[in-house]
Structure 1
Amino acid sequence: MPSFIRHPKDFWTGIIFLLFGLTAVVLGQEHAMGTAGRMGPAYFPTILGSLLALIGAVGIARSFVRKGEAVSKFYVKELVLVLAAVLLFGLLMRGAGLVPAVLVLVILSAYASDKFQLVPTLLLAAGLAAFSVLVFVKLLGLPMPILGPWLGF
């Protein structure tokens, strides 16, 4: 890392935010922008992407001014577990239902932590599954299966 970058964590975080923000802006340009009163499909991704890119640029600028520690080791196992949990949530949602998808998401992502404990994780997963059913299915009326066809419901 060059010596003029004084805070590598801010630098790399800024780069990631800047890339995601600019990607959203570029991809949003394929659609009509609209106006603030009558928003088109590109309005939200363009505005949000611009804000994200601005936050990234500020992070990059701060990395040259503010002193900080170097980036520690790259946690590949933890990254893969959390990414797998999110992907499994998406795959399980339609076939297994909301409750099993939330349970898998919480348990698998909690397992990525070095402070993982089974009983508190199971309690958290059950509570979040019940909360999700209450909010999304009962209160908001979203058409999500609580238990899906893969489980015989």
Structure 2
Amino acid sequence: MNTTVSPAKRRRTPGHAQEGAQMSTRMLESKDFWIGCVYFAAGAAGWWIAREYSSGTAGRMGPGYFPNVVSFALMFFGCASWVAAARRDGARVERLNLKGLVLVAGSVAAFAFLLPLAGFVPATAAMALMSAAASAKFKLGVLPVAALAALIAFCALIFIFGLGIPMPMMGSLFTPVE
């Protein structure tokens, strides 16, 4: 008597259906799957925005060439992340860190608000400190303050002095009132 089960019959058994459902649930909980969604969505949005631009050729690039190349690369990496999520058990998505999300987004808003009023130095310091405070490991000490000063000096050298971006080092809050 032949006891082997045909592949068609094996696919119909409840155990294999459960295994497939577990794989799709495992895939949806994977960081690879969700970062693939982010990459693909960013690429699709970039392509949608640049769809009206002339692409030109590799030899004579038009205004849409670079956005399209980057958009398709992002969509490719999104698909590659989905394949990786389906093929292996990756790291699971952790609980959303609301404090970190608010502090990092708030640091960008604080920079935009403080730049015209306080200037580049205080705005950059506020942005860096707020972003660093999003980490559970953040501690303010001598070394982090020295690193912050070096970061501000480096950014000022590049953006204000090197590229000539018109930003005040210190804003109107620090000028004497006459």
Distance in 2 (CA, whole Å) between partners of 1:62 and 1:44 is 27
- Pick from 54, 63, 71: which aligns with 1:49? 71
Runs of 5+ in structure 1 lacking a partner? none
Residue of structure 1 equivalent to 2:18? none
Say if 1:95 and 1:149, in contact at 8 Å, map to a contact too: yes
Residue of structure 1 equivalent to 2:169? 146
Distance in 2 (CA, whole Å) between partners of 1:149 and 1:41 is 38
Runs of 5+ in structure 2 lacking a partner? 1-20
Aligned residues: 152
- Give 1:56 deviation, angstroms: 0.8
Is 1:4 aligned to residue 23 of structure 2?
A: yes
Query: What fraction of aligned residue pairs are identical, expressed as a percent?
Result: 37
Q: TM-score, normalised by structure 2?
A: 0.75
Distance in 2 (CA, whole Å) between partners of 1:128 and 1:20 is 29
Residue of structure 2 equivalent to 1:118? 140
- Structure 1 residues 24-63: aligned runs within 5 Å: 24-63=46-85
Q: TM-score, normalised by structure 1?
A: 0.86
Distance in 2 (CA, whole Å) between partners of 1:71 and 1:35 is 41
- Give 1:113 deviation, angstroms: 0.6
Distance in 2 (CA, whole Å) between partners of 1:37 and 1:131 is 36
- Give 1:11 deviation, angstroms: 0.5
Distance in 1 (CA, whole Å) between partners of 2:91 and 2:49 is 34
Distance 1:47 1:92, change over 3 A: farther
Say if 1:99 and 1:147, in contact at 8 Å, map to a contact too: yes
- Give 1:3 deviation, angstroms: 2.1
Distance in 1 (CA, whole Å) between partners of 2:171 and 2:56 is 39
- Give 1:127 deviation, angstroms: 1.4
Distance in 2 (CA, whole Å) between partners of 1:89 and 1:43 is 32
Please identify the structure whose Cα radius of gyration is greater. 2
AA matched with 1:97: G
Residue of structure 2 equivalent to 1:97? 119
Q: Deviations over 1:55-97 (max 9, x none)?
A: 1110011100011232121111111111111222233334432
- Give 1:18 deviation, angstroms: 0.6
- Give 1:32 deviation, angstroms: 2.9
AA matched with 1:124: A
Q: Deviations over 1:15-44 (max 9, x none)?
A: 111111111111111333333344333222
Question: Which deviates further from its counterpart, 91-100 or 50-59?
Answer: 91-100
Say if 1:107 and 1:122, in contact at 8 Å, map to a contact too: no
- Give 1:129 deviation, angstroms: 0.6
